[in-house]
């Protein structure tokens, strides 16, 4: 994940289906409503699958954002046992994570075909923040499963907390 202060950001990951997928399979990524398409997002070129631009959609509603990358009716973007690198560019993060808001979990859903009642496989990723030394001032990692935290605790979640909102 590359987050740029005051600019467009991107997420990168790989998908390796360990089950058979078919023509028309599609990947959906559900995440926070605070991650959305930037003004420069282009549905035809902003999503790269195996380094090739593929059509995708980003829809944000009052509860969440969903990113969809679909194979066409004549081919399969996600073949079995093949690692497929994916990059989604021109994204916008509303804010840095805080103690109570802006949690950026990613729920992946790979549907194996366009058939009605097609099987789906689900996966959850909670990105870990690795702060680079001396690059951004006023930021600190926050471990939310600290037993001394009097607020809400979320296991295995690390958030980046800023005391200076001008950093975002």
pLDDT for residue 159: 52
Note the pLDDT tens digit of each residue in 92-106. Answer: 887 766 555 666 778
d(C-alpha 126, C-alpha 28), whole Å? 16
Ramachandran region, residue 101 (left: φ > 0; alpha: ψ -120 to 50; beta: rest): beta
Provide the pLDDT for residue 53.
Answer: 93
Place of tokens 């497929």: 84
Instruction: Return the pLDDT at 52.
Output: 93
Q: Which residues contact 164 (CB under 8 A, 6 or more apart)?
A: 137, 138
Q: Are 157 and 103 in contact (CB under 8 A)?
A: yes
Whole-number pLDDT of residue 46: 94
CB 75 within 8 A of CB 147: no
Give the pLDDT confidence score for residue 164 in this predicted structure: 61
- Written as six digits, the tokens of 139 are 């930021």
Enumerate residue ranges in the chain where pLDDT < 70: 1-7, 96-103, 116-117, 124-168
pLDDT at residue 165, as a whole number: 59
- What per-residue confidence (pLDDT) applies to 16? 87
* Residue 146 confidence (pLDDT): 47
What is the predicted pLDDT for the residue at 48? 94
Considering the domain 9-134, what is its CATH architecture?
A: Sandwich (2.60)
Give me the pLDDT at residue 144, please.
47
Which pLDDT score is estimated for 136? 57
Report domain extents, the chain: 9-134
| 21 CA to centre of own chain | 22
């Amino acid at each position: 994940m590359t987050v740029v202060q005051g600019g467009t950001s991107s997420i990168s990951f790989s998908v390796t289906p360990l089950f058979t997928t078919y023509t028309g399979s599609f990947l959906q990524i559900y995440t926070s409503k605070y991650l959305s398409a930037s003004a420069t997002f282009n549905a035809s070129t902003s999503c790269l699958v195996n380094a090739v631009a593929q059509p995708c959609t980003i829809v944000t509603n009052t509860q969440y954002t969903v990113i969809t990358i679909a194979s066409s009716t004549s081919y399969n973007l996600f073949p079995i046992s093949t690692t497929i690198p994916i990059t989604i560019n021109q994204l916008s993060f509303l804010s840095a994570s805080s103690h109570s808001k802006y949690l950026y979990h990613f729920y992946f859903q790979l549907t194996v075909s366009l058939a009605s009642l097609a099987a789906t496989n689900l996966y959850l990723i909670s990105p870990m923040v690795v702060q680079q030394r001396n690059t951004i001032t006023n930021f600190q990692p926050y471990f939310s499963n600290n037993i001394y935290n009097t607020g809400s605790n979320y296991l295995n979640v690390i958030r980046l907390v800023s005391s200076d909102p001008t950093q975002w």
